[in-house]
Amino acid sequence: MRPGLNVTCSSITKRHPHEVASADIAAFLTHVAVQQNVAASTQNQALSALLLLSRDVLKMPLDLPTDAIRAKKPKRLPTVLTKDETLKVIERLSATP
């Protein structure tokens, strides 16, 4: 995780893991998305790390927060070549030894 996330994550880890509630995790994930303006994949990585810690290390269930503000995934338009551009690419590939 990024160094900034480590600092924020310490607000959760100051307490015993059994005292961390779903609302605390939701607040953390919202803070990461809104205040630190991270990418959706970074927020998902933070959530996955908390799930791994809870499930595999501490062997305790973790209620997933449903009310956290999620980071927005960027809208990406596919790059599409026109028919003429495609033919030019194929011609150049054919001409290459």
> Domains of the chain (ranges plus CATH)?
3-95 (1.10.150.130)
Euclidean distance between CA atoms 18 and 58, whole angstroms = 9
Residues 6+ apart with CB under 8 A from 46: 1, 5, 9, 28, 29, 32
Give the model confidence (pLDDT) of 37-93 as tens digits. 788 888 888 888 888 888 888 888 777 766 667 777 777 777 888 999 999 999 888
Torsional sign, CA 22, 42, 50, 48: positive
